[in-house]
Structure 1
Amino acid sequence: MSIEPNPPTLPRRVLGRRLRELRELAGLTRAKAARSCEMGAQTLWRLETGRNSETKKMVINALCDTYEASVDDRRELLWLVDESRKDGWWHSMADAVVPEAEMYLGLEQAAREVFTWQTMIVPGLLQTRAYRSALWKIAEPLGRSIDLDSELALLERRQKRLHDASGFAVEVALSESVLRQPVGDTECMAGQLGHLAEMCALPNISLRVVPFGAPGHLGLAAKHFIYLVFPDHMNPVLTEPPVVYVEGFTGALYLDKPSEIDQYQAARGSILQVALDEGETQRLIEATAREYRA
């Protein structure tokens, strides 16, 4: 089996996908776009598939001019050029030019399947507005400025995909501690758990809880993570491999090496092996919600 000399890193893959999206939005063929920027179509193909060894910012600026890209799109693409030159990818929330939430959102919107394992808080896709607001209240001592209206609008934008049963599947595994850890007041928690129970009814959402007392499993070592799977493309070269996203206190880690993916896939299987089934999960969530209402 041949080994690709410059396997695409995640930043190069994201950069390529965004360039391809902007070109298609501009209604240009690859050949026409390449001619406009005085480059070969093969060179542009390598950019769009993340297989270029080095990306020059002057090339990205030329493509942005051709596609009439917005200021924000241009800024994101140039930032990705800088990130693609790094050996690893730890995305700092404090220092990144592109907001961390928007970066992750692009991956989530492109994914066809998301698996998330959470040990302390409800994942964003299933959060209520009150729960999300309470989380930002907890974070106030960090001094990060936040436009709550924009944050809640972003949350709503993400959650719209939950109703796309034909093209988006979400599998959620939660430690029972997520249900028991108060975020906000009891009314907030009761509302959040009631929302989780309702989400169990959606055909493309699977929600399972790992109860206290469950046998040991790899989720204890993996902490929390999100595993994203992308659609198969007609051209296999353009099919993006899975990505694992791990959010930390001061930044976010993106993993895409096959050995890393294999380990997190093993963790996923281990977690689900000890989790309650969906019916048992729904009954536990509803019972816990009643405790908060009492």
Structure 2
Amino acid sequence: MDVTGRKVMPTVRLRRLASELRNARLAAGLKIEEVVRQTGLDQSSIYRIERALNKPQRRTVMTLLDLYGVTGEKRESFLGWLKDSNQQGWFRAYEPYLPEQYQSYIAFEYEAESSRTYESMFIPGLLQTEDYARALVRGVLPTIDSDAVERRVEARMRRQSVLSRPTPMQLKALVDEAAIRRVVGGPEIMRAQIRHLARVMEQPNIHLQVVPFEAGAHPGMPGSFILLDFADPSDVPLIYTDSMAGDAFLETPGEYKHFEELFDQVAVKALSLADTKKFIKEAA
């Protein structure tokens, strides 16, 4: 929560601020208990600030920086991250229609430099046509009303702007053949979707490979996942997983290494780029 009580949407800047505050505390040789004793701040608040669960007030950051001995340009960097953490993207307008974790994912995706994704059942959201997205939302969420469906579809289409911005996102997508074969919305909608894949594959920043049925069992079968990397090395990479049990973010070095290796293992099972293009054209 922020000082107004409104739920804080995680941003890349807020995560960077949280990470660097923790690093500054450790560099000063202080445990959280010592920070509590010397500042009077609540222990749970410091924990939540360092996990980017709370957006701190400016005076709180100033107090921590004083204690950690952070001065000069480095201090200004901290205050700049705090100020920039207020910036929210276009997705804020869709808050009533989207799950909280999905909103957070969109915020991170919006600032990511590259994305590696494995999808077992769906065409990746960044590569979906509007009709396919609409049919998919209606099929997966049959009880939501038409307005909510349209707002979700609008949000998904706007997400795709990351692929055409001045410095476009680099997308590497591994898609199971099941996602290509499943007819979502009827033959015409699915045919248009597959033709769309054939077109976007010509873009240099989009790298798509199909994992064919003939590959048999492979490491990606337990579920879909996305790895996001950022241009600034200070920004910790993220893993986003989506399952029936709910969405989750993972960001420890061990978790990142595991999913990076998993992506590479699935890629070995996939068709080459040339064979994928041939497969897509034949499927259309």
TM-score normalised by structure 2 residue count: 0.66
Residues 11 and 104, structure 2, Cα contact 8 Å, conserved in 1: no
- TM-aligned CA deviation for residue 156 of structure 1: 2.3
Alignment-derived partner of residue 247 in structure 2: 252
3-state SS, counterpart of residue 284 of structure 1: helix
1:20-41 CA-to-partner distances (Å, cap 9, x unmatched) read 9xxxxxxxxxxxxxxxxxxxxx
Aligned residues: 224
Shift of 1:208: 0.3
Q: 2-side partners of 1:180 and 1:201: how far apart?
A: 21
Query: How far apart are 1:13 and its partner, in Å?
Result: 6.9
Distance 1:214 1:55 in 2: 41
Residue matched to 1:92 = none
CA distance in 1, matches of 2:191, 2:51: 52
TM-score (normalizing by structure 1): 0.64
RMSD of equivalent CA atoms: 3.9
Give the aligned partner of residue 274 of structure 2: 279
Give the whole-Å Cα distance in 1 for the aligned partners of 2:106 and 2:210. 25
- Greater Cα offset, 210-219 or 175-184: 210-219
Report how far residue 240 of structure 1 moved.
1.3
> Counterpart of 1:228 in structure 2: which amino acid?
L
2:130 matched residue in structure 1? 129
Contact 1:165/1:204 (CA < 8 Å) preserved in 2? no
Instruction: Give the Cα separation in 2 of the matches to 1:97 and 1:172.
Output: 23
For structure 1, which runs of at least 5 residues remain unmatched after alignment? 1-10, 21-46, 77-94, 234-238, 290-294
- 1:112 aligned partner: 113
| Alignment counterpart, residue 268 of structure 1, candidates 260, 263, 266 | 263
The 3 A distance-change label for structure 1 pair 151 and 60 is: farther
1:232 aligns with 2:260: no
| Residue aligning to 2:203 | 202
**CA separation in 2, counterparts of 1:61 and 1:144?**
44
What does residue 183 of structure 1 align with? 184
* CA distance in structure 1 between the partners assigned to 2:262 and 2:50 by the alignment: 33
Residues 170 and 129 (structure 1 numbering): CA distance in 2 closer, same or farther, change over 3 Å? same
8 A Cα contact 1:171 1:205, kept in partner: yes
> Distance in 2 between the 1:265 and 1:53 partners?
23
Say yes or no: does 1:152 pair with 2:153.
Answer: yes
Taking the aligned partners of 1:119 and 1:97, their CA distance within structure 2 comes to 22
Which secondary structure state, in structure 1, belongs to the residue aligned with residue 102 of structure 2?
A: helix
Letter in 1 for 2:160: Q
Specify whether residues 240 and 67 from structure 1 end up closer, same or farther in structure 2 by C-alpha distance, changes over 3 A only: closer
CA shift, 1:71, in A, is 12
Provide the C-alpha distance between the structure 2 equivalents of 1:285 and 1:183, rounded to a whole number of angstroms: 16
Q: Aligned partners of 1:245, 1:53: CA distance in 2, in Å?
A: 16
Moved more, 107-116 or 137-146: 137-146
Q: Secondary structure at the match of 1:208?
A: strand
Tell me which residue corresponds to 1:7.
none
DSSP-derived class of the 2:218 partner: coil
Structure 1 position 102, deviation (Å): 2.3
Moved more, 147-156 or 240-249: 147-156
**Percent identity over paired residues:** 28
Q: Give the secondary structure class of the aligned counterpart of 2:213.
A: coil
Q: Does 1:242 align with 2:237?
A: yes
For the Cα contact (< 8 Å) 1:219–1:267, is it kept in 2?
yes
C-alpha displacement of 1:152? 2.7
Distance 1:255 1:214, change over 3 A: same
Question: After the TM superposition, which parts of structure 1 deviate over 6 Å for at least 4 consecutive aligned residues?
Answer: 53-58, 60-63, 66-73, 95-98
Q: Does 1:288 align with 2:283?
A: yes
Alpha-carbon distance change, 55 to 195 in structure 1, aligned in 2, over 3 angstroms: closer
Query: Partners of 1:98 and 1:60 in 2: how far apart?
Result: 29
Q: Match for residue 59 of structure 1?
A: 57
Q: Match of 1:220, SS?
A: coil
C-alpha separation in 1, matches of 2:232 and 2:267? 25
Residue 14 of structure 2 aligns with which residue? 16
Alpha-carbon spacing, 1:56–1:179, altered in 2? closer, same or farther (3 Å): closer
Q: Which amino acid aligns with 1:188?
A: I
Query: Which residue identity is paired with 2:57?
Result: V
